[in-house]
Structure 1
Amino acid sequence: MAQGKVIAITGASSGIGAATARLLAQQGYRVFAGVRNPDSASPIPDVTFGKLDVTSDEQVSSFVEWVLAEAGRIDVLINNAGVSLMGPVENTSVAEAAKVFDVNVFGPLRMIRASLPAMRRARSGLIINVSSVLGFLPAPFMGIYASSKHAIEGLSESLDHEIRDFNVRVILVEPTFTNTNLDVNSAVTEAAPGAYAEQLDATTRAVLAQVKSAPSAKWVADQILRAIEGPYRMRQPVGKHATLLSQLRRFMPAKAAFVRRSGSASIKFSRLTECWRA
């Protein structure tokens, strides 16, 4: 149950963040939602919005200090803000990759560094990092996004070992495809695909087809609520397909995840890649 617990969530203007903020507020949690532009954010009943760009040290510090001043504590930190990038690894510039990592990896790191001192003092807290099945699966033409999610999984596991003695734990929520603007409007690398054009086009069409038929963000929000209120588990895949993928990944070689038919530009997705989250 909520019992007046205080939630701080990033990336709450739309998609998973907005759905999660709404659901937790409905369940009685006190929700502070970080968005880059609070004035343009759609209001959510009983959710308090604050200005937050997770790539800014100053804004992260100000947001966390504001929540602590208003509520006295942070019981649950949800690192949800994220960006995507699609394109061949070879054609991805270091600057493009750095932008993805700044949001998807260093953003959570900034929030964790700012929030942990109060959690340690209270000897209570939960950090939920929104990852993806691409945190443990390969994905052609999504190498930078996937590597950022692999990174947040490694950070989360290591951090959990460091802070559990203070009664603070870390959870990874791992969605597959989710029908959100992030997934539908994924950024693409600036450089032309060149030799990869055929494969990239076929992969992009297949991924978009999966995203458009995927469940809504509420699907992930429900899992985040279960993660907060249920028994502790480090990794929490969202839905039966993600759970299956997590189990299969232990036994299936990486090359089995993607098959390109000889002499054809068509792409065949295996059971593993049918459930990617873009």
Structure 2
Amino acid sequence: MRVQPVAIVTGAAGGIGAAAATALAAKGFVVVGTSRNAARATPVPGVSMVDLDVASDESVARVVAGVIAEHGRIDVLVNNAGIGSAGAAEESSIEQAQHIFDVNVFGTIRMINAVLPQLRRQGSGRVINVSSVLGLMPAPFMALYAATKHALEGYSESLDHEVREHGVRVLLVEPFYTRTAFEANAVNPDRPLALYEDRRAAARRITASGVENGDAPTVVAAAIVAAATTNRPRLRNPAGPSARQVSLLRRYVPAAAFDHQVRKLNRLPAAR
């Protein structure tokens, strides 16, 4: 009898997470979606929702143990939960920076540490970390968010080498602008400075426009499902044509030209 694969998707209350959970369920997975307040999440057909705070060791351990107890296995972990940030880097206190890292980076690490023993016991499984093209390039006035994604990229690539011999792969999905509530829910700086006010506001307008005209969450969900099911997994999986273009440009365009384009797109004055 065919064993039905089991997937956990964090941050599944809406946006990319909900789309990924729906797509995995359509592919035959038993899907457990998570949210900080699952009762308020829009029901997703074929997906059971549970409360989870990725910033809590206890919450993570409880949810993962519950999934193993109920289903006996975990085949795919999609680390999608995260928060955005907006503002100049020095406008955020250390405490605020630590909070953003605690969710975006350490939340991912908590989930992986909790799930890996089960994947190793099975001798199979995939961890899919939802990164961003901002893990490959700078993001003026989103420095902390970009820093978390750069950290996630290095962590994922290193970990992937460590666990391959146990039948486990760690893969990255890298979206560009996506039509979600990302910009609206971004953390505002807790110590704003007047000298950055105009630039900060302009950056938010650029981001809002990019999100409004970005890819549908289903584009990213398709990349996640492909990473979860392909027989030839790749470490980095840009989601959608814009993300693929940015990835190629970052790898092949000379640094000075890329720097100039970043400043132009963000409407910053010419570099001194």
Give every structure 1 segment of 4 or more consecutive aligned residues whose post-TM-superposition deviation is greater than 4 Å.
none
**Residues 125-145 of structure 1: per-residue CA shift (max 9 Å, x gap):** 100000000001001000000
Does 1:250 find its partner at 2:251? yes
Aligned residue runs from structure 1 range 136-215, under 5 A = 136-215=136-215
Q: TM-score with structure 2 length normalisation?
A: 0.92
Give SS of 1:187's match. Answer: coil
**Residues 140-170 of structure 1: per-residue CA shift (max 9 Å, x gap):** 0000000000001110011001100001001
Give SS of 2:220's match. Answer: helix
CA distance in 1, matches of 2:3, 2:216: 27
Give SS of 2:32's match. Answer: strand
**Residues 168-206 of structure 1: per-residue CA shift (max 9 Å, x gap):** 001100000001112333221022232122222222212
Q: Is residue 11–residue 80 contact of structure 2 (8 Å, CA) maintained in 1?
A: yes
Uncovered stretches (5+) of structure 1, i.e. residues with no partner:
270-278
CA distance in 1, matches of 2:100, 2:192: 19
Residue-pair matches, total: 264
Deviation at 1:40, TM superposition (A): 1.7
RMSD of the alignment, in Å? 1.8
**Residues 63-122 of structure 1: per-residue CA shift (max 9 Å, x gap):** 000000111010001100000001001111111111110110000100000000011011
Aligned residue runs from structure 1 range 18-57, under 5 A = 18-57=18-57
Give SS of 1:86's match. Answer: coil
What does residue 85 of structure 1 align with?
85
Q: Is residue 173–residue 223 contact of structure 1 (8 Å, CA) maintained in 2?
A: yes
Deviation at 1:260, TM superposition (A): 5.6
User: Matched residues, percent identical?
Assistant: 44
Does 1:217 find its partner at 2:217? yes
Give SS of 1:128's match. Answer: strand
Q: Is residue 20–residue 221 contact of structure 2 (8 Å, CA) maintained in 1?
A: yes
CA distance in 1, matches of 2:268, 2:191: 26
Does 1:235 find its partner at 2:236? yes
Give SS of 1:259's match. Answer: helix
CA distance in 1, matches of 2:264, 2:213: 23
Aligned residue runs from structure 1 range 57-96, under 5 A = 57-96=57-96
Please, which moves more after superposition, 38-47 or 14-23?
A: 38-47
Uncovered stretches (5+) of structure 2, i.e. residues with no partner:
none
Give SS of 1:186's match. Answer: coil
